[in-house]
Amino acid sequence: MKPFVYVTRQVPDAIYKRLAAKYDVEMWKEADKAVPREILLDKVSKADALLTVITDVVDEELFSRASSLKVVANMAVGIDNIDLDAASRYGVSICNTPDVLTDTTADLTFTLLLATARRVTEAAEFVKEGKWTSWAPMMLVGTDVHHKKIGIVGMGKIGTAVAKRAAGFDMDILYHNRNRHEVAEEMLGAQYRSLDGLLEEADFIVCLAPLNDDTRGLFQREHFQKMKKEAIFINASRGPIINEQALIEALEAKEIAAAGLDVFDKEPIHTDHPFLTMKNVVSLPHIGSATKETRMAMMRTCCENIEAVIDDGHPRTLVNKEVLHFD
Ligand code: DGY
């Protein structure tokens, strides 16, 4: 009997066929709707591998339903939807998709920063709504990005790639991270700051930290209050790192100038979410890695990891390395 692979979201033919050439594959066929929990729990009971996305909760209950599950290939660099300890206890390898999305996500993060600073979405709406009647000296003026200070919270691969882009805009680069990043300091002139120091000094605060127990709720009202009144806050990592209500209140109280958000506490946000009525907030639907090239590369990475584990090889991007020591 061929190993059974369950794919939790509709993937392009090329990916489906690659897996189907070797395995018995089933796929949840709706592109825009997550697989219902009961179906996922049912499928996992006979699965050798899962190809999951960030909306799938991969927890203890799921592992306890599995009898032959060996690998979960999560189509994301973030693995906050997965209980890693439980995975290791159940002997399941968890793989993610780092590297292939670094530049693409950095591009989107910088796009969001530029769009927020230069009011790009608001200006495009202005034209569409027929409000452009004349050139005017102060019409839709934004704020400069070049020669300003960017403060990157979370100087991993994506943070460093954003710093490179910022260097091209002649920005001063400040960063806060668990560990010092000597390469970024040497190559890009990045300067380490305490979190408070960064918040007080930066013109653009860019959150790119991974979501974990240390970063959940990292940004509270007092953090926004420490920022400059002209500061622009960008989040392209995970929504729950921010106390969303605190950000709404900080924007309403004009404690900061604007926000550009690709991620939210609960996704998708509801159409009556306060952010959607704020002209100084640019909201995007979690599209950091969303280019054809990168999404295909992410899915290929998932396939490679599934193939490696099922064929007893070494997965390229294993997250829970300790699984190798559990029997
Ligand atoms: C990731 O990779 O973690 C993104 O948020 C999903 O593309």
DSSP 236-248: -S-GGGB-HHHHH
- Predicted confidence band of residue 55 (pLDDT cuts 50, 70, 90): very high
The one-letter amino acid code at 225 reads Q
289 CA closest ligand 1 atom index: 7
- Do 23 and 160 have their domain in common? no
Residue nearest (by alpha carbon) to ligand 1 atom 3 = 78
Going from the Cα of 90 to the center of ligand 1, the distance in angstroms, rounded, reads 25
Probe ligand 1: pick from 8, 94, 101, max atoms within 8 Å of CB?
Answer: 101
* 112, 113, 114, 116 alpha-carbon torsion, rounded to 10°: 80
For residue 8, being part of any structural domain is answered with: yes
Question: What pLDDT shows up at residue 130?
Answer: 98
Question: What pLDDT shows up at residue 32?
Answer: 87
For residue 57, being part of any structural domain is answered with: yes
Kindly name the residue from 222, 252, 267, 322 that is annotated as catalytic: 267
- Do 185 and 111 have their domain in common? yes
Cα 70 to Cα 27, 199, 211, 218, 323: the distances in Å are: 18, 43, 25, 34, 10
- Predicted confidence band of residue 237 (pLDDT cuts 50, 70, 90): very high
Question: What pLDDT shows up at residue 276?
Answer: 98
pLDDT tens, position by position, 212-222: 999 999 999 99
d(Cα 307, Cα 74) in Å, to the nearest integer?
14
Question: What pLDDT shows up at residue 216?
Answer: 98
- Do 226 and 303 have their domain in common? no
pLDDT tens, position by position, 153-166: 999 999 999 999 99
Ligand 1 touching residue 289 (CB < 6 A): yes
> What's the CATH number where 220 sits?
3.40.50.720
Q: Please, what is the average pLDDT of the chain?
A: 97
Tell me the percentage of the chain whose pLDDT exceeds 90. Answer: 97
Ligand 1 touching residue 54 (CB < 6 A): yes
- Asked if the model's pLDDT at residue 47 lies above 70, the reply is yes
Residue nearest (by alpha carbon) to ligand 1 atom 6 = 76
- Do 93 and 203 have their domain in common? no
Active site residue 286: yes
Look at 68-77, 296-305, 309-318 and tell me which has the smallest mean pLDDT: 309-318
pLDDT tens, position by position, 250-292: 999 999 999 999 999 999 999 999 999 999 999 999 999 999 9
Residues spanned by the domain of 34: 4-100+291-310
- Do 35 and 84 have their domain in common? yes
- Do 41 and 90 have their domain in common? yes
Question: What pLDDT shows up at residue 118?
Answer: 98
- Do 266 and 152 have their domain in common? yes
- Do 238 and 251 have their domain in common? yes
What average pLDDT does the segment 42-54 reach?
98
pLDDT tens, position by position, 76-134: 999 999 999 999 999 999 999 999 999 999 999 999 999 999 999 999 999 999 999 99
Question: What pLDDT shows up at residue 312?
Answer: 85
- Predicted confidence band of residue 29 (pLDDT cuts 50, 70, 90): very high
The residue length of the chain stands at 327
What average pLDDT does the segment 306-318 reach?
94
What average pLDDT does the segment 232-257 reach?
98
78 CA closest ligand 1 atom index: 3
Closest CA to 157 of 98, 110, 114, 200: 98
Q: How many distinct structural domains can be found in the chain?
A: 2
What average pLDDT does the segment 300-310 reach?
98
Active site residue 267: yes
For residue 320, being part of any structural domain is answered with: no
For residue 74, being part of any structural domain is answered with: yes
d(Cα 235, Cα 262) in Å, to the nearest integer?
6
Predicted structure pTM score: 0.97
For residue 315, being part of any structural domain is answered with: no
- Do 117 and 89 have their domain in common? no
Going from the Cα of 289 to the center of ligand 1, the distance in angstroms, rounded, reads 6
d(Cα 45, Cα 325) in Å, to the nearest integer?
24
- Do 260 and 300 have their domain in common? no
- The radius of gyration computed from the CA coordinates of the chain, to the nearest angstrom, equals 21
Going from the Cα of 288 to the center of ligand 1, the distance in angstroms, rounded, reads 7
Closest CA to 141 of 291, 242, 257: 257
d(Cα 168, Cα 284) in Å, to the nearest integer?
24
Ligand 1 touching residue 159 (CB < 6 A): no
Ligand 1 touching residue 205 (CB < 6 A): no
- Asked if the model's pLDDT at residue 137 lies above 60, the reply is yes
Going from the Cα of 175 to the center of ligand 1, the distance in angstroms, rounded, reads 21
For residue 319, being part of any structural domain is answered with: no
- Do 93 and 121 have their domain in common? no
- Asked if the model's pLDDT at residue 327 lies above 80, the reply is no
Going from the Cα of 78 to the center of ligand 1, the distance in angstroms, rounded, reads 6
For residue 317, being part of any structural domain is answered with: no
- Predicted confidence band of residue 324 (pLDDT cuts 50, 70, 90): confident
For residue 108, being part of any structural domain is answered with: yes
Ligand 1 touching residue 53 (CB < 6 A): no
Question: What pLDDT shows up at residue 31?
Answer: 84
Question: What pLDDT shows up at residue 27?
Answer: 98
- Do 8 and 56 have their domain in common? yes
